[in-house]
C-alpha cells in the first residue's frame, strides 16, 4: 500500500479545510459524524499527512441521510446539483457548488471553442460554468441528437471536446477521424474507463482522461507519459488528496459549500510504481 504523503501547498489547504469544518458555525455535519466515531474534536488537528488517516470515511449514504441544509458550510449564490448514485438502495441527494470553486476544477483546457457532450444535464451545465468562469464560450452538444451536435461542431469549428465513454464509438471516434478536427483537444470524463479503448495519441491534438464523480467534481488525471506507452495510469490532481485503499478515497481541497473529506468512492484501484517525471507522486490504475 502506498504511504500517504502530502506535500505543501496541499498540506496547508488540508489543515485549513479540516479546521474550518471542525469550527464551523454553519454546519455540524462533519463534527457530529466525527464525534460519533470517537474523534476528540476539541484537540484534533492536522499536523502531518498521516493525521488525516485517523478520520473515518464518509460514504454516499452519510450524505444522502442528512438533508442538504444541514450539510452546507458556505452561504451566498450557489449552483445546486442532484447526485444520483448507481445503486438501487441509494436515494439521490443534493450538493451545492459556488462559481468560484467550479472555476478551480480540472474540467478542461484553455481553448477557443469547446463542445461539451454529456448525458447528464446537471453535469453538462456545471462544466459549461467552468468554461464561462475561465473566459471561454462553450457549446453544449445535444446527447439525443448527435447529428445536430456534429453539425454544431463543424459550423463553429470546435477545438476541444469534453465528453464521456458513452459517446466514444458513436461520436468521439467519428469526430477525431475527420481531418478538420485533427487539432482537437479531447478530455474524457468519468468514474471508469476501459483501458482497452483508450486513445494514445491524437493526430496533433491532445487527449486526457479525468476521473470525477458528481458529488466530488474531478480528482485525478491520466499520466501523459503513461498514455503514450498505451497505459492508463492516474495521478491525483492539484485540488485533491487521494488514497488507494482498494476503493479510492477522495478529499477535495477546494472549499465547497458541501465539503468532501475522505469520501469513500465505489471506484476500485490499485497503486502502481511511479515511472514518469510528473510532479505528483501518487500513481494508480483502475481495476
Ligand atoms: Zn505521470
31 CA from centroid of ligand 1 (Å) = 36
The predicted pLDDT at position 83 comes to 84
**What is the C-alpha to C-alpha distance for residues 191 and 212, in angstroms, rounded to an integer?**
6
49 CA from centroid of ligand 1 (Å) = 21
Q: Give every residue of the chain whose pLDDT is below 50, as ranges.
A: 1
Strands 93-97 and 284-286: unpaired
**What is the C-alpha to C-alpha distance for residues 71 and 142, in angstroms, rounded to an integer?**
33
Prediction pTM value: 0.94
The predicted pLDDT at position 41 comes to 92
Q: Which three cell numbers stand for residue 241?
A: 488528496
145 CA from centroid of ligand 1 (Å) = 37
189 CA from centroid of ligand 1 (Å) = 18
268 CA from centroid of ligand 1 (Å) = 20
157 CA from centroid of ligand 1 (Å) = 31
Amino acid at each position: 500500500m502506498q504511504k500517504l504523503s502530502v506535500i505543501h501547498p496541499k498540506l496547508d489547504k488540508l489543515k485549513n479545510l479540516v479546521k474550518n469544518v471542525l469550527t464551523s458555525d454553519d454546519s455540524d455535519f462533519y463534527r457530529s459524524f466525527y464525534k460519533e466515531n470517537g474523534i476528540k474534536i476539541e484537540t484534533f488537528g492536522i499536523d502531518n499527512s498521516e493525521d488525516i488517516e485517523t478520520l473515518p470515511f464518509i460514504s454516499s449514504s452519510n450524505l444522502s441521510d442528512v438533508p442538504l441544509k444541514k450539510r452546507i458550510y458556505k452561504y451566498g449564490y450557489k449552483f445546486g446539483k442532484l447526485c444520483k448514485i448507481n445503486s438501487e438502495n441509494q436515494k439521490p441527494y443534493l450538493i451545492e457548488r459556488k462559481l468560484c470553486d467550479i472555476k478551480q476544477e480540472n474540467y478542461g483546457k484553455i481553448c477557443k471553442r469547446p463542445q461539451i457532450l454529456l448525458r447528464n444535464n446537471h453535469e453538462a451545465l456545471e462544466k459549461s460554468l467552468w468554461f464561462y468562469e475561465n473566459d471561454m464560450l462553450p457549446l453544449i452538444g445535444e446527447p439525443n441528437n448527435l447529428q445536430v451536435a456534429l453539425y454544431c461542431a463543424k459550423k463553429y469549428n470546435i477545438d476541444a471536446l469534453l465528453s464521456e465513454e458513452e459517446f466514444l464509438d458513436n461520436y468521439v471516434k467519428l469526430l477525431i477521424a475527420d481531418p478538420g478536427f485533427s487539432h482537437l483537444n479531447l478530455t474524457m470524463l468519468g468514474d471508469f474507463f476501459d483501458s482497452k479503448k483508450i486513445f494514445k495519441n491524437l493526430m496533433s491534438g491532445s487527449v486526457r482522461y479525468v476521473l470525477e464523480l458528481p458529488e466530488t467534481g474531478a480528482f485525478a488525471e491520466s499520466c501523459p507519459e503513461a498514455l503514450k506507452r498505451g497505459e492508463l495510469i492516474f495521478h491525483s490532481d492539484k485540488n485533491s488528496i487521494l488514497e488507494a485503499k482498494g476503493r479510492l478515497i477522495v478529499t477535495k481541497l477546494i472549499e465547497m459549500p458541501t465539503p468532501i473529506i475522505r469520501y469513500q468512492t465505489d471506484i476500485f484501484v490499485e497503486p502502481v510504481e511511479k515511472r514518469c517525471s510528473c510532479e505528483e507522486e501518487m500513481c494508480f490504475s483502475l481495476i
